[in-house]
Each structure stands twice: as structure tokens, then as C-alpha cells.
Chains A and B, each alone.
Chain A
Amino acid sequence: MDQKLTKELAQKLMEFKGEIRGIDIISDGDFVLRNHGEEALKKVEEKLKEVGFPIEYKKLKPMGFYPGGLKALSLLAIKEALGYNNEQIEEIGKAAPRFSLIIKLFVKYFFSLKKFFFDYSPKIWREYWTTGEFVPVELNEEKQFATVRYQNFDLHPIYCLYLKGYFTTLTKLIIGAKKVECKETKCTFRGDKFHEYFLKWE
């Protein structure tokens, strides 16, 4: 997890099969801009350039598709350039749904939690990624918890942190819960067959 971002690592990540919507990478840049300003963003862009993949966040197209590895590269560059810890990476994930056009498009399915969870949440994944599968496992509205997983997707552990934050906020937005806890209970990088998250809300 504390792997240093090098040209080799970058090259390896860029070999990841699958693409991601530009909006999910842009949201990383926006987060830096909102919280640290232009200089910090430049630093991140410099880091990316340094490892051989110069990206200008502002020039990315929100609805365009880009190599999936760029997402992990973006997060790793932020981590290194700004000295972020794991919690701060989670914060990037927590902020993303609040600004996401895709989430706004899916608002129309929020009226029924069950329907949204089982029918529409896999579609959201597909709105972002051209690879991997999102699987809604269990929903218990009465006891206020849910289990989700995604599989056939091994990008980088930093993305697991990001998704932890992302699922936390998304659950808040859908349910209207004040407090949500999210825990990655299974992870392919820890030898599991898939990634699994347990969500509990109040």
C-alpha cells in the first residue's frame, strides 16, 4: 500500500485492462483544487508528468473514457505530492459522489432503496467502468446494513480506500442516514476472491 509511485509502477498500472469515465479522475483534481488550491494541483500534475503520464485535470472530458490505470495513478500522485494518508484518500472518495453528474442522473432511482440497491447500483458501476462487476449482496433495511462486492477488478489497493469513502457518502445520499460506517471485509489484495464491503448506518 505504501508503494512509491515510480515510472515502472505507473507503466504497470497503465497496463490495467478497462477504462474509466473522465469525471471520476476530474473529481480528484477538483478535490485538490477546492482544498489546497492551484499550486497543489500543479504539484500533482508535475508528479504525474514525472512518472511519464502528464495529465491536465481541467482538460479531461467528464463523460469521456480514459485508461482505468489513470485513476490509481491520480490517487497515488496526490498521495505523494501532498503527503496524504489513508484517511485523506478516503476523503477524496467521500467527496466524489457529491459532485458526480452520474450520481445526479441516478437520483431518479432513489425513491426505493431496495430497487435502487438491487437493480440500479450495478448500473452505476458500469457508468464509471468498462470492466469489473458490482454485486449487491445483502440489504437489511430494518437492521440498517448492506453488503456489496465488486469482482474481477484488481486495480490497486489505493482504489479500495477510495471506494470505501465513495460507498460511505453514496449510502448517506441514498438513505439520508446521518452516520454511515463502511468496512472492506474482503479484498483481493489480501488473498480474497473479490472485494466486499459491509455498510452499517444509523
Chain B
Amino acid sequence: MEEENQKISLLVEDISLLQNYIEDLFNFLPTPICFISPRKVILEANLAFKEISGYTTEEIIGKSIEEIFKKEEIESLLKEASEKELVKEKETVFITREGKEIPVSLSIKLRKSPEGEALGYFLGFFDLSQIKIVETQLREKIKELEELGEKELVLRIREIAKSKDIERKVEELEKTRKALMNILEDVEEERKKAEEEKSKTLAIIQNFVDGLLVFDKEGKVSLINPQAENFCKLKRKEVIGKSILELSQFPDFKPIAEAVGREMKGIFRKEVPLRKDFILEVTTVPIMREEEKIGTLMILHDVTREKMIERMKTEFVSISAHQLRTPLSAIKWTLKMFLDGDLGELTKEQREFLEKIYQSNERMINLINDLLNVTRIEEGRYLYRPVLADIIQICQSVIDSYKEEIGKKNLKFEFKRPKELPKVRVDIEKISFAIQNLLENAIRYNREGGEIEITLEEKEGKIKFSIRDTGIGIPKDQQHRVFTKFFRAPNAIRMETEGSGLGLFITKNIIEAHGGEIWFESEEGKGTTFYFTLPVASNTNVGTI
């Protein structure tokens, strides 16, 4: 009996110790935990639960769980726990004794008897207040960053924000918050730098001698500098936000708008006479960010003075050339008389000298003629008379006049053409001059015994002319200058010291004035082929050059 009593006493002691152990463990847990009956009455709550709720044990035990959570939410969660036995990390609101609402992540475990009867629920939750604060701060930072365009970073943060692992999320959010703060500091610094740069750029733009207008992606004016306002008699507040079409309503901008067109595509440059004695060179350049066009810059450069000087220069050349041609013509005819023997017999030596003087005089007359042609082109006075003509005949006529020259250089010459071609409406004299220039170059810069081939054909409603030689060719780096005034390639100068460098400039102007196109292919040391096209007569619409 005594032995049994001893055993019972030991068991009682064990149970007491076990109770102490459970109580210590329960109260040690930092997570608020409680146990509620199936009727939702709180029967047990640990220290953390009491601390966060503000209730004493006497107050909390026996209280309905619906008094400390939002009723509808907790009811729904308990129902879910009854069905699934476990509900994990559901966000809800916990209400303290003072009525303060705390966002929490709540987990519920259904407690069942061995027979499967519901005995109650264990509830545990995690205070989300700090996370919510961080989230709010984060959202604000995200907003700030979004405004700054840090999209990639924002996506990363959102990814973290979606994470289900709350602890990791808190940690990552904290890290991200710190990183964001650092980034924001950097961004702020960069913003200040950018602000300074912007101020500098604005100062340059404001004081720039050229007029500047910036059009945004939608083609609306976003910036105009004082010089542009002055050129076009515009006021900043009247033009900001307006399209080029709307700007065309301003009389002093209308010529520019008409020249540029509505869309402002690609790079554009044109001289636009804005008013009497006021000419602007208008340039539009797309503003690109990587592959995307983000706007257009319009530069208005005052070229009035340059144009005036150019005109004066042209007038000077014209007058000078005219003044020079008269005595040169007198010299020519006097020399002709000497050489024809009209003024008596000449010795062999005298004839040789006079012939050289005559040739030099001829070259000077040709140069003067070229200069006069150029000044006429520049002044828009290169008038001509278009007539219906047979291009084969014109070519043949030019070729015939150069047969001797071709023979002297032993050139193999070929003229390829169909039996007949549609008529072209051309100024025969000017077209002959253009073909003559091309043929002369083919002969002059060809090698001894080389080849020349002229081809005429009809292609796509156009007459296509080509002249191929086997001469010195044009160096690659000089090819872009071929049609400019006074240009002569270095290898051409070395081979033939004479030449004005005006022939191809005049030729290009003649062809283009007929509505045609001119171009060439060349390889240094192998030869050159020049091409031009002329519209056939029915489509020809000619004017002046």
C-alpha cells in the first residue's frame, strides 16, 4: 500500500513538473498564441498574447475571440480551419484592449480528439505593423523611383513584395529599403548634376546665335530660344505646345513650315527666304535615344550675309569674265589673221610661237566661258530652249567632233545604241555640252590605247546614257566631291595640268535642269563610268536652270 502511495506521489510530482514545463514553454514563446474552445471562448493565452493585447489573464480568459479580431474575418477563418484543419498566414486585424487595430498574419490549427471531435483551436499570429510601415515606405520609394524611371529596380522590389516567405520578405525589404535609400541618395546627387548640366545647356541655348526650336515626340514645341523668337517674330508662350501646322499660322514662320513639311522626317536642310533681305538656312535633325526618336531639333541659321557675299562674288566673276572675254576675243581674231597669212608670210618659228599663243588664248576663252556658265547657273539665268530632239543624233554629232582626238590616243571606241529611241525634249546646245564634257574627260584621262564605250538605251520610261572609260579612275576618298565647283582629283592634275574643274559641275546642273539624274561608278586605276538619265518627251517637264 505504502509502495503504491509512493508511486502515486511520484506521478503527482511528475504531473506538477510537466505542468510547470508546459507553462514555462508556453510563456517563453515570443509569438502570441492562444487556445479557444469550439464556442470561440479564449481558454488559454500566453504571455506574448497578453502583452500585445493589453489584457490581463483574468480579462482575456473567457473572452470571445470575436472581441479581439474582426468578427466576420475571424468567423470565416475559423470556418476554414474547421474544414481544412490548418489555416496559415492569413492577414487580418487584431484589436487590442485600447481599441488599437494591429495588422497580423494569423495561423489557426484545429485541435481534435482521438475520436475526431473538434476540441478547439490553437491561434498564433505575427505582428505585421513594422512590415506594413516598411511596405508603405517602400511603396513611396517605388513611386519616387518610378518617377525617376528606375523601372528595372521597381520590378525587382515588386517581385520581393510578392514573396510568401514573410521573414525573408521582411529581411529583403529591409535590405532593399537600405539599398533604395543609397540609390536615392545617388539619384539625388545625379539629379543635382543633371540639373546643373541642364542649366548650362539652357544658358547655351538661350544665348546661341542660331535660332533653336525643339519639338517633342508628338511634334509639339517644347523649347524655343530668344533668337528663334526674334527671327520668326514669335513669343514663347504663344508657341509652346503647338505643332508645326499650328505654327504655320504665324506669317513669319509660314515659309519655314511650308519648307519643312508637317512630319519633319530625317535630316533636312534648306534655305528659306523669310522676308526681304532675310534668308534662313533651316536644318531639322531628329533627336534620338538609342533607336527611338524622342523629338526634333530645328536650327535656324541666318545666311543673309553669306548669300549677299555669294551674290556679290558671282556678280564680280560675271563682270570680270565679260571684261576679260572681249580683249581675249580681239587677241584670238588678231592671232587668227596672223596664222591665216592675212598679215603676211610667217616664218616656221613665228608660226609655232603664234600657234602656242593661240591655243593658250583658246583655253582662257574656254575657262571664261565656263565661269560665265557657272555664274549664270548660280544666278538662275542659265536659260535654254527645249525642243524635241533625237538623242542618238546629238550623241553622234558630239562623237564625230572628237574622232580626231580619239584617233590620236589610239582609243578603241564603241557607240552602242538601238536603231531608234523615243524623242527627248532638250536644249540641244546644253545637252551636247554635257555629253561633250563627259566624252572629253573620258578621252583626256584615258590611257594610250584604252577603251571608251558609249551606250544609249531606254529603261523605265527614261533614256539612259552611259560612258565607260579605262582611264585613271577617281580615288574613293575624292568621289564625293566630283560634282563640286573647281574640283579636280589629284591623279587628274598629275596627268593633265590643264582643266578648270567646272565641267562636271555644269554637266550635273544641265542634266538635273532637264529632270534627269547623273551618277558614276569608278575605281582608281581601272576606269570610270558616268551615267545620266533623261525623261522621254511625253513626260518631260522642263524649265530653267
> Which chain A residues have a beta carbon within 8 Å of chain B's beta carbons?
22, 34, 61-65, 94-95, 98-99, 101, 103-104, 107-108, 110-111, 169, 172-176, 178
Residues of A within 8 A of B9 (CB): 64
Of the candidates B16, B62, B119, which one forms a contact with A110 in the assembled complex, judged by CB atoms under 8 Å apart? B119
Give 12 new A-B contacts, CB below 8 A, not counting A173-B62, A176-B64.
A61-B13, A64-B13, A98-B58, A99-B61, A108-B119, A111-B117, A169-B62, A172-B41, A173-B37, A173-B61, A174-B37, A176-B41
- Bitwise interface map of B from 44 to 59 toward A, beta carbon under 8 Å scored 1, else 0: 1000000000001110
Of the candidates A98, A104, A173, A176, which one forms a contact with B57 in the assembled complex, judged by CB atoms under 8 Å apart? A98
Most buried by A among B9, B41, B57: B41
Please state if A104 and B44 are interface contacts (CB–CB under 8 Å).
yes
Please state if A63 and B12 are interface contacts (CB–CB under 8 Å).
yes
Of the candidates B16, B61, B120, which one forms a contact with A63 in the assembled complex, judged by CB atoms under 8 Å apart? B16
Nearest chain A CB to B381's CB is how many angstroms away?
112
B497 at the interface (CB under 8 A from A): no
A176 vs B39: C-alpha distance in the bound complex, in angstroms?
6
- Bitwise interface map of B from 113 to 143 toward A, beta carbon under 8 Å scored 1, else 0: 1000111100000000000000000000000
Contacts A98-B58, A98-B62, A107-B120; is A176 near B40 (CB within 8 Å)?
Answer: yes
Please state if B13 and A107 are interface contacts (CB–CB under 8 Å).
no
Residues of B within 8 A of A104 (CB): 43-44
B360 at the interface (CB under 8 A from A): no
Residues of A within 8 A of B58 (CB): 94-95, 98
- State the majority secondary structure of interface residues on B: mixed
Residues of A within 8 A of B37 (CB): 107, 110-111, 173-174, 176
A160 vs B120: C-alpha distance in the bound complex, in angstroms?
31
Contacts A98-B61, A110-B119, A169-B62; is A175 near B39 (CB within 8 Å)?
Answer: yes
- B57-92 interface (Cβ within 8 A of A): 57-58, 61-62, 64
- B15-45 interface (Cβ within 8 A of A): 15-16, 19, 35, 37-41, 43-44
- State the majority secondary structure of interface residues on A: helix
Of the candidates A61, A62, A107, A178, which one forms a contact with B119 in the assembled complex, judged by CB atoms under 8 Å apart? A107
Of the candidates A22, A101, A110, which one forms a contact with B38 in the assembled complex, judged by CB atoms under 8 Å apart? A110
Nearest chain A CB to B21's CB is how many angstroms away?
12
Nearest chain A CB to B74's CB is how many angstroms away?
13
A113 vs B35: C-alpha distance in the bound complex, in angstroms?
18
Please state if A111 and B12 are interface contacts (CB–CB under 8 Å).
no
Residues of B within 8 A of A178 (CB): 64
A25 vs B243: C-alpha distance in the bound complex, in angstroms?
93
Residues of B within 8 A of A98 (CB): 57-58, 61-62
A117 vs B19: C-alpha distance in the bound complex, in angstroms?
26
Please state if B19 and A63 are interface contacts (CB–CB under 8 Å).
yes
> Which chain B residues have a beta carbon within 8 Å of chain A's beta carbons?
9, 12-13, 15-16, 19, 35, 37-41, 43-44, 56-58, 61-62, 64, 113, 117-120
**A31 to chain B: closest residue by CB:** B58
Please state if B41 and A61 are interface contacts (CB–CB under 8 Å).
no
A69 vs B262: C-alpha distance in the bound complex, in angstroms?
109
Contacts A62-B19, A104-B44; is A110 near B39 (CB within 8 Å)?
Answer: yes
Contacts A104-B43, A107-B120, A175-B39; is A99 near B62 (CB within 8 Å)?
Answer: no
Residues of B within 8 A of A99 (CB): 57, 61
A172 vs B41: C-alpha distance in the bound complex, in angstroms?
8
Please state if A173 and B16 are interface contacts (CB–CB under 8 Å).
no
Can you offer 23 A-B residue contacts whose CB atoms are under 8 A? A34-B56, A62-B19, A63-B15, A63-B16, A64-B9, A64-B12, A64-B13, A95-B58, A98-B57, A99-B57, A104-B44, A107-B37, A107-B43, A107-B120, A108-B113, A108-B119, A110-B37, A110-B119, A172-B41, A173-B43, A174-B37, A175-B39, A175-B41
Please state if B57 and A62 are interface contacts (CB–CB under 8 Å).
no
Of the candidates B16, B43, B64, B120, which one forms a contact with A61 in the assembled complex, judged by CB atoms under 8 Å apart? B16
Nearest chain A CB to B28's CB is how many angstroms away?
18
A110 vs B56: C-alpha distance in the bound complex, in angstroms?
23
Residues of A within 8 A of B12 (CB): 61, 63-65
Nearest chain B CB to A52's CB is how many angstroms away?
25
Residues of A within 8 A of B19 (CB): 62-63, 101
Residues of B within 8 A of A61 (CB): 12-13, 16
Residues of A within 8 A of B16 (CB): 22, 61-64
A110 vs B38: C-alpha distance in the bound complex, in angstroms?
7
A187 vs B120: C-alpha distance in the bound complex, in angstroms?
36
Please state if B120 and A110 are interface contacts (CB–CB under 8 Å).
yes
Residues of A within 8 A of B15 (CB): 62-63
**A113 to chain B: closest residue by CB:** B39
Residues of B within 8 A of A108 (CB): 113, 119
**B60 to chain A: closest residue by CB:** A98
**B38 to chain A: closest residue by CB:** A111
Nearest chain B CB to A137's CB is how many angstroms away?
22
**A91 to chain B: closest residue by CB:** B58
Nearest chain B CB to A106's CB is how many angstroms away?
10
**B20 to chain A: closest residue by CB:** A62
A79 vs B121: C-alpha distance in the bound complex, in angstroms?
38
Residues of B within 8 A of A94 (CB): 58
A104 vs B113: C-alpha distance in the bound complex, in angstroms?
14
Nearest chain B CB to A202's CB is how many angstroms away?
13
A178 vs B38: C-alpha distance in the bound complex, in angstroms?
16
Nearest chain B CB to A114's CB is how many angstroms away?
13
Residues of B within 8 A of A62 (CB): 15-16, 19
